[in-house]
Amino acid sequence: MDRKQQSTSLLSVPPRKPLATPNTATKSPILAFNEVHTVHDVLVRNHYKRPLMVIFKPEKLNKRSGIIVLEDDKHIISYHNDVLNDGAAHDAFDCYRLLECAGDKYKALNWNVELTRQNRRIT
């Protein structure tokens, strides 16, 4: 697969789906995080510069490095030499988990202690 085809296929990577909650009364901490944070917020908070966050046409990707914001404006793909560059589309929670929690999903899921307590009381 040449680089142009590879870049095009990366843009079509479906975003990861949030973990389902076993009880309908509980609230997914991932969905809750994404309701109050954007990918832009998380990236800027972690010293990414706004000019890197642009949408490139797939044919221009092979000459660029940076962050590509997908059309839904809620997911990114990274072409930096960083933890976000794994070929997957990342939402705000994913960026937070990888950049601020060193990939630790349990630490990331506990981002809102009150929500975690509430979910534990319900289950």
Per-residue pLDDT in tens (0 to 9) along the chain, 123 residues: 444 444 444 455 555 555 544 545 678 999 999 999 999 889 888 988 764 455 444 455 555 567 888 878 899 988 877 899 898 999 999 999 999 999 999 999 999 999 988 988 886
The Cα angle at residue 72 between residues 90 and 89, in degrees rounded to 5: 20
pLDDT computed for residue 90 by the predictor = 95
The CA distance from 82 to 4, in Å, is 21
pLDDT computed for residue 48 by the predictor = 81
Upper half-sphere CA count for residue 32 (Cβ side, 13 Å): 17
